[in-house]
A = this chain, B = another copy of it.
Amino acid sequence: MALPREYTGQACSIVRALEIVGERWTLLIVRDAVFGVRRFSDFLEHLGIPRAVLTERLEFLVGEDVLARVPGPGKRSEYELTAKGLALWPVVRSLSAWGDEYYAPEGRRRVFVHDSCGGEVSPAGECAGCGERVPVAATVMTPGPGLPPPSPQDSAITAALAHPRPLLQPLH
């Protein structure tokens, strides 16, 4: 069966990668996971994704070992990035840089800084301050000049992400 998930039999790692993360919503789920989102309801609210689609995507990503389903507080299950999922950060980060460069007339929406030295982290993961390679967990996401000011109808997640926050730190 020719699932739209699959492409032709090309022996190309980009094709393989897109068969995993190339569907609608998938990279945004990974983005949110890096931002600290872990619960079904939070993904649902923040993304505005249909429930059935979220269910399917989460199951698929768990099956591919991009996310892991872990018990959270009160037996509620949460979805956590695996090492493999975390390895997708450069993809998401470079998309963010491209969007900021060409589709953010008011300026960049997100700026990433090194937690220890405060220097800015480049899309490639290097700190402009100290020159070191910065692990994702040592990166703080801060609002840039192009991020709209908080609005009352923002979701709780959106509001939380409008303040500086270390990546990967669980919300809640």
Contact = CB atoms under 8 A, between A and B. Distances in A.
User: Chain A interface secondary structure, helix, strand, loop or mixed?
Assistant: helix
A55 interface: no
A104 interface: yes
A110 interface: yes
Interface in A65-105: 84, 87-88, 90-92, 94-104
Interface residues on A, range: 35 or more
Given A27-B14, A125-B124, A90 B97 contact: yes
Contacts of A11: 109, 147-148
B109 A13 contact: yes
Nearest to A11: B148
A48 B7 contact: yes
Given A13-B104, A17-B103, A124-B124, 8 more contacts: A7-B48, A12-B110, A13-B99, A14-B27, A14-B28, A14-B95, A90-B90, A90-B98
Interface of A: 4, 7-8, 10-18, 20-22, 24, 27-28, 31, 47-48, 84, 87-88, 90-92, 94-104, 108-110, 123-126, 147-148, 158
24 contacts: A10-B48, A11-B147, A13-B96, A13-B98, A14-B27, A14-B28, A14-B92, A14-B95, A14-B99, A15-B28, A15-B99, A16-B104, A17-B95, A17-B98, A17-B103, A20-B103, A21-B95, A22-B27, A87-B98, A87-B101, A90-B94, A90-B123, A91-B98, A94-B94
